[in-house]
Amino acid sequence: MKQSRHPACARRGGSHMRSEDAAALSIEAKLDLLLTQGGTPGRALGLIVDVLTERGPGLASDKREECAELVLAVAGRCSARDVALAAQRLAGLEYVARGLVLALAQIATARHDAGPDEDAPAEDVPAEEAPVEEETAEEETADEMARRVVKANPQELRVIAAAEKLSEDATARLIARGDEEATIACLRSRKARLSLGSFAAMALAARDDEKLRRALCERADIPEDVLPDFWPACADAEKARLLVAGFTNDTDAPMFPAAEPGVEEEVDPGYETERQLAELILQHTKPASLQRAAKMLAERAGIDEGLAFDLICGSYERGLVLLARAAELDEWAFLKIVCSRLKQISGQTTPHRALRNFRDCSRDEARAVLTSVTDLKSLMAQERAASRKRQGSSER
């Protein structure tokens, strides 16, 4: 039997490597592992993307085209998640054709809509990397809370829902009790954690229940997977409240970073098209660049600069969708922005879903919702100012 030439693999007796070890391998070593150990289509796709990422600038144009053809050929056998990840990685490379990224996003969308595919299995996770559940004092407390929820009378249940730190299990048991007042109090509590199943149940119920819908729209942690279940039923004001909930937890922090005193703002005439704006946002590690991008997008969308900044940095991809539609960006520019902000927006976000939401959203809808967001932020600012005034009067 052929032995692996990579020393790390030999040390591990030919077993699957840790992800951090694999990431450090050269392309040749990854290919050797793929040939000797086998692997899924997703791993093959990842290897081709590695070639484009690491060797792309030095490849002749015809060789890059051959790599692109290989990417598309293999992508047809991969899961939606693998294809979306490939699109995300390639979107930031200047020498990769726009059509390839858009094609991958469309393939991922089609595979996602079609549901699980037996020919595109999920990537293997080595058993040694699987998280190990350990009994801790916190978990024991969560179990005790779940038992309290089951035994509590209606009045006690409502107090627990509003004031206690609830685990996902405790929250699920509370929702199962069917007490509407307790459920709404739980949804409005930042201390209550909901599982994906609980969120899905609440999203379906919120379609026809205005009270539930309003409470759900005050959360900043709703998975993108369940938003489509109740988003169409939301009024513009409810959509606005949901987006604002995902902006920031610090209501006293400025929504838009002020320019440094004494520093005149630099206007760069080169950033005029939507794609150049997207490139600017890709440099989000530089605060000044992100601020300039927010200002330009605000001008295109006809909204406040601070609101544009919040939409870029918020926790919901819907904010990016609305901003891009209002600013009349094209699909390529939108995908570039989404890929640059994946760490900031919901962990459930994938480029293909974001692209589908972008296509489903009209400019008129975007502008209507953003108008409601502006009104809501203004109302919240007035309420905070009035509260501070009352507090100042009481201290005197």
* 351 close to 84: Cβ distance less than 8 angstroms: yes
* DSSP H or E run through 10: helix 7-11
pLDDT score recorded for residue 78: 86
Confidence band of 20 (pLDDT split at 50, 70, 90): very low
Confidence band of 253 (pLDDT split at 50, 70, 90): very low
* 55 close to 84: Cβ distance less than 8 angstroms: no
Q: What is the pTM of this model?
A: 0.60
- Residue percentage of the chain with pLDDT more than 90: 18
Separation of alpha carbons 43 and 124, rounded Å:
10
Which positions ≥6 away from 131 have C-beta within 8 Å?
none
Separation of alpha carbons 324 and 360, rounded Å:
12
Taking only the tens place, the pLDDT of each residue in 47-72 is: 888 888 888 888 888 888 888 888 88
Q: Which amino acid is at 357?
A: N
Which positions ≥6 away from 383 have C-beta within 8 Å?
none
- Residue percentage of the chain with pLDDT more than 70: 67
- Ramachandran sector of residue 219 (left: φ over 0; alpha: ψ -120 to 50; beta: rest): beta
* 283 close to 292: Cβ distance less than 8 angstroms: no
Facing residues of 166 across strands? 192
* 361 close to 329: Cβ distance less than 8 angstroms: no
| Residue linked to tokens 């995902």 | 246
Three-state secondary structure call for residue 237 = helix
pLDDT at 251 over 60: no
Taking only the tens place, the pLDDT of each residue in 183-217 is: 999 999 988 999 888 898 899 899 999 999 999 99
pLDDT score recorded for residue 323: 93
Residues 136-162 have a mean pLDDT of 79
pLDDT score recorded for residue 325: 94
